[in-house]
Amino acid sequence: MNDVAHAYIDSLCERLTALKMHENTSMAAAADAIIDAAQGDNLVYVFGTGHSHTLAEEVHYRAGGLALAVPILASTIMVHEGAIASTIMERTEGIVGPIFDRYDINRNDVLIIISNSGINAAPLEAARIGRDIGCTVIAITSVAYSTAAANGGEKLADLADIVIDNRTPPGDAIVELPGTDLKSGPASTVVGATIINAVFAQAAHRLAEDGKPPIYRSANMPGAKENNRTLVERYAPRNRHL
């Protein structure tokens, strides 16, 4: 592995270490909110646009993941069917309302919104909808990026009940390219996946203290078929993506 690849990994490690130092309180609060939802047999909805939507899929039907996680997915704001169009759509006012109408989110649920830049219309609208419903809104975002990009305007961090700062720089990429003003090596997906899995793991550990938590087993592990079938039967009526 060359020096640049090492530097990229080293930078990621530094950012993950910084999470433990600076985001411990917010991540603990997020875990507490998820625990409260689980204990009341409620759900955790996860929403993101563009590449951020991958974190909604990361916790959906995931080995070692909580079965109460429900992704909010719509192809119009994902990159696989038209990246250029999805970029336009995530900046379009009013696009999220019809998407959220497909999900029965209630005030006792948790809504996690992932947006690195934290200023596009879709995540802001999602946060407002969550606030109107009265559910706990958790943001995973870059405070530095959104503060710079908002230029004094409203950002996702202003609307969430709990803000977890992924501490990535404006523009996301962290590897400088010589002879250019360009950078490579985006960090937000790696850091974001670490955040959401760490929070879910903390919640699952606490739930295990009171009984068996609703955790999926990897399909190739012993007992997975029976374990996962029970969870799917329990959550499929409330998760349109199972």
What are the residue ranges spanned by the domains of the chain?
Answer: 3-238
Gap between the Cα atoms of 46 and 30, Å rounded: 13
pLDDT at 194: 98
pLDDT at 162 over 90: yes
pLDDT at 90: 86
State the pLDDT confidence band at 229, using cuts at 50, 70 and 90: very high
pLDDT digits (tens, 9 = 90+) for 203-218: 999 999 999 999 999 9
- Mean pLDDT score of the chain: 95
Check if the beta carbon of residue 66 is closer than 8 Å to that of residue 242. Answer: no
Gap between the Cα atoms of 2 and 142, Å rounded: 28
pLDDT at 1: 64
Q: Output the pTM of the full model.
A: 0.96
pLDDT at 84: 86
Over residues 116-143, the mean pLDDT reads 97
Over residues 107-118, the mean pLDDT reads 97
106 alpha-carbon distance from chain centroid: 19
Check if the beta carbon of residue 95 is closer than 8 Å to that of residue 76. Answer: yes
pLDDT at 122 over 80: yes
Q: Which of 84, 86, 66 is nearest to 76 (CA)?
A: 86
Tokens encoding 101: 């109408």
State the pLDDT confidence band at 76, using cuts at 50, 70 and 90: confident
Check if the beta carbon of residue 129 is closer than 8 Å to that of residue 153. Answer: no
| Amino acid at residue number 232 | V
Fold of 3-238: Rossmann fold (3.40.50)
pLDDT at 82: 81
Q: Count the helix, strand and coil residues of the chain and give each as a percent rounded to the nearest 5.
A: 50, 15, 35
